[in-house]
Chains A and B, each alone.
Chain A
Amino acid sequence: MPAYSDKVMDHFKNPRNVGEIENADGVGEVGNPICGDMMTFYIKVEGDRLKDIKFKTFGCGAAIAVSSMTSEMGMGKTMEEAMLITPQGVADELGGLPKVKFHCSNLGADALHLAIDDYRKKNNLPPLVHGEQAHHDEETDDQSWDTAVDVVEP
């Protein structure tokens, strides 16, 4: 396991805003349990502000801490402001993430942005421009020692 910062451990052990919102105004889901991490974000919108944010996360310590921090960073912001939250910004607020966790587990901003997209679509509002994304799907691992199982399948 990687060494996590105190801030990551705090958000992992005491995650803020865990849960679901009944009749949420927008829902965003990223990842899947097969790749190890999955996050679902729920938002409640009032005017153009995020009145409430809740999340559920399946994943490692980093994934849970990232979700918690993203929800805190987005809370009360306007949707435009929330779209500016980036994976790098979330990692910085957490006092850094282990390199190996940055791409695969840093999906909170994506999930929040998708929830905002969902809200805007439902309300016939024009979509907002997404900030920098984690590009988790493009990340490949080329460490050769791990390619052992790529030999001829039975």
Chain B
Amino acid sequence: MPDIYMDHISANPVLPEVKQAMLPYLEERVGNPSSLHKWGQAARDDVEAAREKVAALIGADPSEIIFTSCGTESNNLAVKGLALANEKKGKHILCSAVEHTSVLSSAKALKRFGFETELVPVDRLGRVAPEDVQKRIRPDTVLVSVMQANNEIGTIEPIAEISKVTKERGVLFHTDAVASAGNIPVNVKTLGADALSLSANQFYGPPGAAALWLRQGTRLTPLLDGGFQEDNRRAGLENFPAVIGMGKAAELALADMPHRMVYLQNLRDKMIQVIPSIVPHTVQTGHPSERLPGHASFCIGFIEGEGMLLWLDDSGIAASSVSACTSKALKTSHVLLATGMETALAQGSVVFSLGIKNTEDDVDYVFEGLPRIVDKLRKMSPTYAKFLKGVV
């Protein structure tokens, strides 16, 4: 049986070159980057070299990069850190309705400090309209957070257009680029945001390393109290093996991006074209073209996502779903609901997120297996039976 991994939005393999770059720090190399001795200074040099590579990936200055432990931490630091640093100005936050829970929950956690969060709607394709942000900005709005690309539906947001609005109104703008950075061109100068989150594992770096880019001169209240690491903005020993791996992964992603993008877009577009035609009553979710290169997401009618994933797994295909049953909270995806997806149809969610190791054969194998699996589940589905009888 084949072993096909199509869940790169959840986790990515670490590239061999990245592993090689990290290995010295998991073996003989020792030294806290804050230490003065030669061991510490060597680690410091390597961390700073990694910072330069991560900065280069997003067109930033190295001094603007704050290393963190994961995308969730970067989002927490951005939302809470920027809001709290500016609470004298006001306590109103705008988030798109499709943000990752680490952004939405951070905004919600600020309620106890008197902050109010308002959601900006999206259209059926999951896109935020800049004018919808504009008309919600109030004199007391301190922060707008809109993600660059959505992990559940793949849609890429018009960040540069939204930042024009926030700049005009003098409001800070954070974009969560965890799903996009390293996968599509990201340039903080053209995007025009004030803060941007990115995570190493999304571009074949190790888990445990991520970053927040913060525009020079932007005030931030740190979340962790302790030492003076990361220019006093993120206390705690740097996870330097992972940070060094992130640097290598960023360098490779930048060099290889045009090739990776074309390769993945071809496979993705094939899935988007073929799957709805071989599995009836299937809708593609998110934007058809303004989407992450390797991201193909669907809602399949009359069945539930978890059963589909179990059968796919049984056929050697690893995919994901955002159905209520597959979520730990047993709640229907707030992203799909925000796009106006019917709740029952949202339960049939399946996401194939492709990586650079996937092949045309892998995609063909999914085309072979998926209709059979859907058929099997529909044969035992009471809602499909009702549909066939014309009851629904």
Which of A10-18, A85-93, A112-120, A127-135 lies on the face that meets chain B? Answer: A10-18
Contact assessment for B105 and A148 in the assembled complex, using a CB-CB cutoff below 8 Å: yes
Residues of B participating in the A interface, judged by any CB pair closer than 8 Å = 95, 97, 101, 104-105, 107-108, 116-121, 132, 302-304, 306-307, 309-311, 314, 323-332, 334, 337, 343-344, 347, 379-385
**Which residues on B sit within 8 Å (CB–CB) of A104?**
325, 330
Q: A151-B117, A152-B119 are in contact. Are A60 and B325 (CB under 8 A)?
A: yes
* Cα–Cα distance between A32 and B95 once the two chains are bound (Å): 31
A101 to chain B, nearest CB (A): 8
A127 to chain B, nearest CB (A): 24
Q: Of all chain A residues, which has the CB nearest B106? A: A148
1/0 per residue A138-154: CB within 8 Å of B?
00010101111111111
Which of A33-41, A43-51, A74-82 lies on the face that meets chain B? Answer: A33-41
Contact assessment for B306 and A141 in the assembled complex, using a CB-CB cutoff below 8 Å: no
Which A23-38 residues have C-beta < 8 A from chain B? Answer: 29, 32-38
Contact assessment for A141 and B330 in the assembled complex, using a CB-CB cutoff below 8 Å: yes
Residues of A participating in the B interface, judged by any CB pair closer than 8 Å = 1, 9, 12-13, 15, 18-20, 29, 32-40, 55-61, 63-64, 100, 104-105, 141, 143, 145-154
Contact assessment for A36 and B108 in the assembled complex, using a CB-CB cutoff below 8 Å: no
Contact assessment for A56 and B382 in the assembled complex, using a CB-CB cutoff below 8 Å: yes
Contact assessment for B119 and A35 in the assembled complex, using a CB-CB cutoff below 8 Å: no
Which of B310, B337, B347, B384 is the one whose CB lies under 8 Å from A61?
A: B310
Contact assessment for A148 and B381 in the assembled complex, using a CB-CB cutoff below 8 Å: no
Contact assessment for B105 and A145 in the assembled complex, using a CB-CB cutoff below 8 Å: yes
Q: Of all chain B residues, which has the CB nearest A148? A: B104
A103 to chain B, nearest CB (A): 9
**Which residues on A sit within 8 Å (CB–CB) of B347?**
33-34, 36, 58
**Which residues on A sit within 8 Å (CB–CB) of B132?**
154
Closest 8 CB pairs of A and B: A148-B104, A146-B329, A60-B325, A154-B121, A149-B334, A60-B306, A33-B344, A56-B382
A44 to chain B, nearest CB (A): 18
